[in-house]
Structure 1
């Protein structure tokens, strides 16, 4: 359930909020609804990675690959699809660690 909450909330807020909402949403969701430590990372990583991959593919297809290819050139990458893969990985890691932070902060304040 946390996976779906993160996907839906992040996808909607990415339209209006800055990029760093990908850290805020997993943090708050796993602070509010904790699961196991490893499940927290995996669900946050997967949700954010899926959102960024879907949006990145949408932009890549919409521009015919021109925009992602130009951004890839800035980072000395061979093509835009590799740029998309790298940004998906980075976004997923940021979301995963943010979810783990939310879980850890909750366990810090609410000891069993």
Structure 2
């Protein structure tokens, strides 16, 4: 949950000042630092970036009364469906963020593996 929120907030702020692809190094670095497992890192990156893009797309769609979204949906094979365009936005952004976060987590696991936790010493039971 913490990684998801970090990716969502940092990627959204970074995209205000940097190009769209800044989400890749953001998700990669945050997952490398915070991610514990590949699956959780992928999901955090997927939903962190995907929801960020979806929220921005919905906001921008409301700003121009759906004119731009309808035209883009007509250009793509979406039959002019704005809902499908928003779904495509979520999936594309999510896959980019998820794969970047997964890569970051795997790099950390490959180079700096977590130390196994010490198991408690076995106790001898008196019989």
TM range (shorter): over 0.9
Q: Distance in 2 between matches of 1:30 and 1:13?
A: 16
Note the alpha carbon deviations across 1:77-108, whole angstroms, 9 max, x for none: 12222111101111001100110000111112
Counterpart secondary structure, 1:20:
helix
Task: In structure 2, list runs of 5 or more residues that go unmatched.
Answer: 115-127
Counterpart secondary structure, 2:4:
helix
Counterpart secondary structure, 2:113:
coil
Q: Distance in 1 between matches of 2:16 and 2:82?
A: 22
When normalised by structure 2's length, the TM-score is 0.83
Instruction: Confirm or deny that 1:101 pairs with 2:123.
Output: no
Aligned length: 112
Q: Distance in 2 between matches of 1:44 and 1:107?
A: 17
How do 1:18-97 and structure 2 match up within 5 A?
A: 18-78=19-79, 79-97=81-99
| Structure 1 ranges of 4+ moved more than 4 A | none
Q: Distance in 1 between matches of 2:84 and 2:60?
A: 14
CA RMSD of aligned residues (A): 1.2
Structure with the greater alpha carbon radius of gyration: 2
Higher helix share: 1
Q: Distance in 2 between matches of 1:111 and 1:49?
A: 28
Most deviating of 71-80 and 10-19: 71-80
